[in-house]
Structure 1
């Protein structure tokens, strides 16, 4: 879309045309001038805001649906209020309740959609990368219902993963129903997913960061603004329903000093190592299920048996477990009980997730990481009582660091832990711990828990978002200044003789054709000149068979490259402000610009690797 405030007008085909062009060049095709912000962004932002409101209420519906299933399965009562399976009095039959839920999820996956399996974010990433952000409409209904069944019957998952997946599916559906581009659908998908997370935890900023790090794969105002509006709207809905208090309130934390801060960072590094093995364990278990001699539809039932068996001995491992996170962060769960919960939750969750049932990763990882951080913090407090280590900060750092290491969403993890506790004294330890966890995880593990499955399917997931190198270089800095031109009145025979004689410049693959005023009117290639069916006395202007495509010296190389692709050409005449021909830009010039960047990067890498 052209920028309405730009100095360019629009030609008949909708492409911008510079008003300073000479009449001879009035039909020349030039790169479109795209606006950073326009009315279309406002429209998508309005849709995203409405999507955030809907996602906010959907989150409440799903949480109540989970409560209903839990109450029916474990307490035989009709209620949508939150209830933990840990308080049941069913005895050993509790082992079979998660298995029953697994059977229902397996049936829904086989006869409804396989996409309900898993925690939802990798599946959403796959649709963004491979399917232009098109998620089947039925997932908007099947994912929350399957998740409510899996979690409500005791599955060791949080509600946030399915809500994120449902919000993303709703955003994708909205983009498919309306006339939107693939990029706009991606924005709506990310907006719905972020709204789901914000509605669950009241964490709008970290929801936006999570969308950037795991779904958008870019950092542009056109996409961030709608996602932010959706997150704010969803959080507003949550506040109107449950109030503005933090999800996990904590007692006032102690102020970190230099030594304690170093220990918090070390805890983040330790938890980063744990995140690597947690991720590997999940996929090892998933691979083990792949070798079972039964249909995958029955795997969630087997996983449910394991969940029920572990839950029989350690009831706190069942269900969403938000009460466990609260107990860990408040230092109300210590010692052996903390260790048992950490190990049992990890075992139950990894088996359930590996079996392919429907559930999330955030809450289980927070429980495991928080418990691990609290355990290490307790040991440090005993060993170094004068250092000033706060076990509650250790738990907070462990909770965020394990997600940062497992998912590689570093900023989202650190900010999320702050938003759900509203403890500003934890921000510095969180940033240090999450950074250390990310570093260790990236060094020890090629892919994250979110991308390993995609990598196995041959999908390449972007991991670094940097400014476009070509967008930083102007055409005038890369274009060839020495241009070999042909006259419009020159005959075809003369041009052929010149080429066959091998004169200077005759070996080029393309030649701008200029008129008597020196203005370019077209481009002819060697093939045009040597294979044209015209008579030798024909003027070269008669051989021009397509509209002239040009670029200005003030355009960026990215705009020029896009224009080459759009026009299907390998070279563009470069015009100055007065429409005069000042150079020519070829594909080789674009590659040479990249070569300069690669050389500087490779020199830096060799310098680092030199002993």
Structure 2
């Protein structure tokens, strides 16, 4: 008899405890990474030994600034060649691949190689954010602890997600968005047994951040008025346009990556080659160097003029896309937010100039652009909305964010199959889940799918009479196994066709006196998911279905075919929905 599934098990308490420790550790590692980036930045651009926050844009190196990203790229290439190739990229796709293919097992060396390589790449001017590396580092730490504790693959996945979410929370102070990010991009499920530990981890990480950094929003934004109906519609249209841009950005990044793959040099040298572009762009546009979180804050605060916005947007895209395509180590969130925010603010200024009476606020437009480009590029819709809200704490921007990100998501889903997070691993033949629906088999009970008109044998039946029935050719006696019940209808065992035809057994023998197999049974109130898992565990293709009430009388038989047939209703509904869509399309074409 299979155990009834439950929402959570007592073992989740252990996962929660480990997740809290992970959240605290990830928070301190995130702060350490930020300090390490500042240390490299100060050393590379200002020649001083300090962990104080410093922007590469304030350097006084002149044309020598071109050399700094090249040196950083060379160091990262060497680390990838002789340390681990897994440090290349922006972190999240690599974590997704380990979750999907390797039971969430990440090599322990990634825990320190990834943050160090990212600190070198970003600290020497790489146009990346720290969020991707710290998500990857926190995930690697969670995976490492999971391997030490010898937990199951599913539990290790939860710990990986808890570490990643804790790291993101510590960087941005966005605990809710961090939880949603793990659901949309790492867990590929929404179950209490995985959601609760991750939530505990981000609460712990947020507590550390509040105690050490404070509770101020990362991207401080002035108060904005609530948008009217027309303005809201404009923000939705803006989100759709940004969604189209996100498609172009994604394709451009991978086209550049493909171009690097055609170079007649080892991939170890690619980050240095990309560093040349980063340095040249940084010479003309210093604001493109480094993480650029202050750029995002200035965009949503309305501190940029139109010309400066356009220049920053173009130059940041050139620098980031080529650097990312070269395979160096760094994140994608901050560059995407900069590009999308600048585009949104530009569109907002344009709408104000054309139609000042619409009530458009360029700051909200920038906020929508910032979130919409990430929603379109990653398809992490809810993450994008909640993240933009938590990092600015602008309640009046929430509805424009929801509409704009939904529109961007729609356009992106219609225009491209994979995302900036999944394209790389999809090319390797990995199928990434994109929809998280309730398990259909959990919704169907065994009693609704089992075959009830089943032939059973009684313990009092003589073997000779049963053999005559088997030889009669009647369809109902052509099965390979039969349940055996007593005179009260209670199942006593199962006998196979082979056992019934065994010549060593005399015809006068009673079925109840034969050697019966213990029945593998399931209650009629079990779900088909529980029944299917029971079949796999017992390595059989059919289950005896019994009633819930004692003495548990025989109800029927459940086969693998019955489980497959249960999907017919679901498939029928999907086909009818598709047929209705096709009918509407035909009517539209006919009416012009």
Tell me the TM-score normalized by structure 2: 0.96
User: Match for 1:252 among 198, 223, 228?
Assistant: 223
CA contact (8 A) 2:336 2:370 kept: yes
Match of 1:606 in 2: 579
Q: What is the CA–CA distance in structure 1 between the aligned matches of 2:84 and 2:504, rounded to whole Å?
A: 58
Q: State whether residues 5 and 530 of structure 2, in contact with CA within 8 Å, keep that contact through their aligned partners in structure 1.
A: no
Corresponding position of 1:25:
none
Shift of 1:507: 2.2
The residue number in structure 1 matching 2:49 is 78
Specify the alignment match of 1:202 in structure 2.
Answer: 173
Query: How much does 1:522 deviate?
Result: 2.0
Deviation, structure 1 residue 600: 1.3
Distance 1:516 1:532, change over 3 A: farther
The residue number in structure 2 matching 1:6 is: none
Residues 285 and 315 in structure 2, CA contact (< 8 A), matched pair in contact too: yes
Equivalence for 1:526: 497
Tell me what 2:589 maps to: none
Determine the structure 1 residue equivalent to 2:590. none
Which residue in 2 is equivalent to 1:483? 454
Q: Secondary structure at the match of 1:505?
A: helix
Would the aligned equivalents of 2:494 and 2:516 in 1 still touch at CA under 8 Å?
Answer: no
Unpaired runs of at least 5, structure 2: 587-592
- The reply to whether residue 221 of structure 1 matches residue 192 of structure 2 is yes
Answer yes or no: is the 8 Å Cα contact 1:132–1:182 preserved in 2.
Answer: yes
Asked if 1:314 corresponds to 2:285, the answer is: yes
2:14 to 3, 19, 43: 43
Where 2:438 maps in the other structure, the secondary structure is coil
| 8 Å contact from structure 1 (residues 86, 318) kept in 2 | yes
CA offset digits 1:208-241 (Å, max 9, x no partner): 0000000011111111111011111111111111
2:568 aligns with 595
Say yes or no: does 1:285 pair with 2:252: no
Q: 1:464-497 CA deviation, whole Å, 9 max, x = no partner? A: 1111111111111111111100223445444333
| 2:321 paired residue number | 350
- Which position in structure 2 is the counterpart of 1:15? none
Given the alignment of the two structures, is residue 384 of structure 1 paired with residue 384 of structure 2, yes or no? no
1:267 aligned onto 2:238: yes
Q: 1:131 to 1:538 in 2, by over 3 A?
A: farther
- The 3-state SS of whatever aligns with 2:493 is strand
> CA 1:173–1:542 in structure 2 vs 1: closer, same or farther (change >3 Å)?
farther
Provide the C-alpha distance between the structure 2 equivalents of 1:534 and 1:322, rounded to a whole number of angstroms.
83
Shift of 1:531: 6.3
State which drifts further: 32-41 or 547-556: 32-41
1:375 aligned counterpart, secondary structure:
helix
**Match of 1:5?**
none
Distance 1:457 1:365 in 2: 25
SS, match of residue 304 in structure 1: helix
**Contact 2:141/2:160, CA 8 A, preserved across alignment:** yes
Contact 2:494–2:518, Cα closer than 8 Å, also in 1 = no
**Displacement after TM superposition at 1:527 (Å):** 4.5
User: For 2:437 and 2:504, how far apart are their aligned partners in 1?
Assistant: 49
**SS of the residue 1:386 aligns to:** helix
CA distance in 2, matches of 1:166, 1:98: 23
2:100 to 129, 132, 135: 129
Conserved in 2, the CA contact under 8 Å of 1:276 and 1:441? yes
**1:289-324 CA-partner distances (Å, limit 9, x unpaired):** 111111111111111111111111111111000111
Match of 1:474 in 2: 445
Q: For this pair of structures, how many residues does the alignment match?
A: 582
- The 1:491–1:112 alpha-carbon spacing in structure 2 relative to 1, beyond 3 Å, is farther
3-state SS of 1:585 partner: strand
CA distance in 1, matches of 2:504, 2:49: 85
Contact 2:495/2:517, CA 8 A, preserved across alignment: no
Q: Is the 8 A contact 2:4 2:526 kept in 1?
A: no
Deviation at 1:242, TM superposition (A): 1.2
- Alpha carbons of 1:79 and 1:596: their partners in 2 closer, same or farther (altered >3 Å)? same
- Answer yes or no: is the 8 Å Cα contact 1:158–1:319 preserved in 2: yes
Structure 2 residue aligned with 1:13 = none
1:94 Cα deviation from its structure 2 partner: 1.1
Instruction: For 1:492 and 1:109, locate their aligned partners in 2 and report how far apart those are by CA, in whole Å.
Output: 72
Change (3 A) 1:444 1:57: same
Task: Determine the structure 2 residue equivalent to 1:23.
Answer: none
Which secondary structure does the structure 2 equivalent of 1:357 belong to?
A: coil
Q: 2:556 aligns with which of 567, 583, 588?
A: 583
Note the alpha carbon deviations across 1:121-157, whole angstroms, 9 max, x for none: 0110111111111100000010000000000000000
Matching of residues 148-547 of structure 1 within 5 Å: 148-530=119-501, 534=505, 539-541=510-512, 544=515, 546-547=517-518
Aligned-residue offset at 1:564: 1.0
| Structure 1 gap ranges (5+) | 1-29
**TM-align CA RMSD:** 1.4
> Separation in 1 of the partners of 2:506 and 2:159?
57
Taking the aligned partners of 1:542 and 1:369, their CA distance within structure 2 comes to 78
Relative distance call for 1:77 and 1:92 in structure 2 (3 A) is same
In 2 relative to 1, CA 260–33 (structure 1 residues): closer, same or farther, beyond 3 Å?
same
Which segment drifts farther, 92-101 or 63-72? 92-101
Offset at residue 542 of structure 1 (A): 6.0
CA gap of 1:266–1:528, structure 2 versus 1, over 3 A, is farther
Answer whether contact 1:172 1:189 (CA < 8 A) is retained: yes
1: CA distance, partners of 2:399 / 2:325: 34
Is the Cα contact below 8 Å between 2:463 and 2:500 reproduced in 1?
yes
Structure-2 change in CA distance of 1:523 and 1:64 (3 Å): same
- Equivalent residue number for residue 17 of structure 1: none
Distance 1:446 1:460 in 2: 11
